[in-house]
Homo-oligomer: A and B are copies of this chain.
Amino acid sequence: MKPDPPLAEPVSATLKRFAEGFDQRFSKVLKTVKDTPESLAEAMCYSALAPGKRLRPFLVAECCRLVGGAPEAAFPAATAIECVHAFSLVHDDLPAMDDADLRRSRATSHVKFGEALAILAGDALVTLAFELLAAPVMGSNGGEADDSRRAVALVSELAQAGGWQGMIGGQVADVQGETQPIDRQLVEYIHRCKTARLLEAACRMGVLSGDGGSEQLERLGHYGLHLGMAFQIVDDLLDATASVEQTGKSVGKDAVAGKQTYPACVGIEESRLAARRAVDAAVEALETFGIEAQTLRALAVYVVERAGCGFPP
């Protein structure tokens, strides 16, 4: 395949622009709600609209576009998956879990709002995710059959990737892995379930939102899964090698906690190679999409090169 021509802007700029537009719209959705305790709405917004890359919504939007869907069509799935992501961060940070005080350079939810409200804000965000997926159909008076089919497929995708056989299963293995000997299979299970499956789901939900076909579903799903593996290995590496200023969160905690990570398992250099291999696999899955997938390819490279982690080219 020919190398891509230069992008009109760095992918980081594209992401930033997307995130701003997305947050503006998402914040309107979150702030129009009535009949809920103010403190709950505030805690939900604090986490759902926290500074962040909005990588998952971006993947939904970009995969929807790639299969010919309208930008509008991606919005419900993009908001839903960001809710699930935000929920997972809030609960992962809790004292009983990772006990983190800092997230994206700000106090974590339980530090700011107390533990009870943080747990409940997480609970409300995951429930809201499914409300958001059903809303377009319910809003249209029962909905067209295609709208309903699409919504159910999105619910199924998100519930599976975010559930006991996906993200939650991965988080359980992660927490329990702290007291187990480092094991490569376990590390891979944790990274796949806890992180990669949600990125896979983001891509698949984008394809579903844009009414793409089953081959597109599979290919872009693979892209997301490998991207997710790369992403999580880089996260491990950042914790092992970067500073608080670079990451905006507490670092060096994985080793102290005895976490199952790539660096703990195979060392820093082999982790960098593993991240690179995952990126290559992600890029390969995009082959049939040609030049249109240029941004997703650049995104995969950006993910491993962020924060100057010194990756092999």
Give the B-binding residues of A (Cβ under 8 A): 33-37, 39-41, 44, 87, 91, 94, 96-97, 114-117, 119-120, 122-124, 126-128, 130-131, 133-135, 137-138, 142-143, 145, 148-149, 151-153, 155-156, 158-160, 162-165, 168-169, 171-173, 175-176
Contact = CB atoms under 8 A, between A and B. Distances in A.
Given A91-B120, A163-B124, A40 B172 contact: yes
Contact of A128 (B94, B148, B153, B159): B159
25 contacts: A35-B165, A37-B169, A39-B172, A91-B123, A96-B115, A120-B168, A120-B172, A122-B123, A123-B123, A124-B163, A124-B168, A127-B163, A127-B168, A130-B159, A131-B163, A134-B153, A134-B159, A135-B156, A137-B149, A142-B149, A142-B153, A145-B145, A148-B151, A148-B152, A151-B155
Contacts of A159: 127-128, 130-131, 134
B176 A39 contact: yes
Contacts of A137: 149, 152, 156
Given A97-B119, A155-B155, A168-B120, A127 B162 contact: yes
B155 A116 contact: no
Contact of A171 (B120, B152, B160, B163): B120
B155 A134 contact: yes
Contacts of A145: 145, 148-149
Contacts of A33: 164-165
Given A152-B137, A164-B41, A172 B91 contact: no
B151 A138 contact: no
Contact of A133 (B36, B44, B155, B171): B155
A6 to B, nearest CB: 41
Contacts of A87: 123
How many of these chains are in the complex? 2
A63 B36 CA distance: 28
B149 A131 contact: no
Given A34-B165, A44-B164, A127-B162, 20 more contacts: A35-B165, A36-B169, A37-B176, A39-B172, A40-B164, A94-B116, A117-B175, A120-B168, A120-B175, A123-B123, A124-B163, A128-B159, A134-B152, A134-B159, A137-B156, A138-B153, A142-B149, A148-B152, A152-B155, A155-B155
Given A126-B127, A151-B148, A159-B127, A175 B116 contact: yes
A124 B173 CA distance: 13
B117 A131 contact: no
Contacts of A138: 152-153, 156
Contacts of A142: 149, 153
The 7 closest A-B pairs by CB, nearest first: A145-B145, A96-B115, A127-B163, A131-B159, A148-B148, A134-B156, A124-B164
Given A124-B164, A128-B159, A148-B148, A169 B35 contact: yes
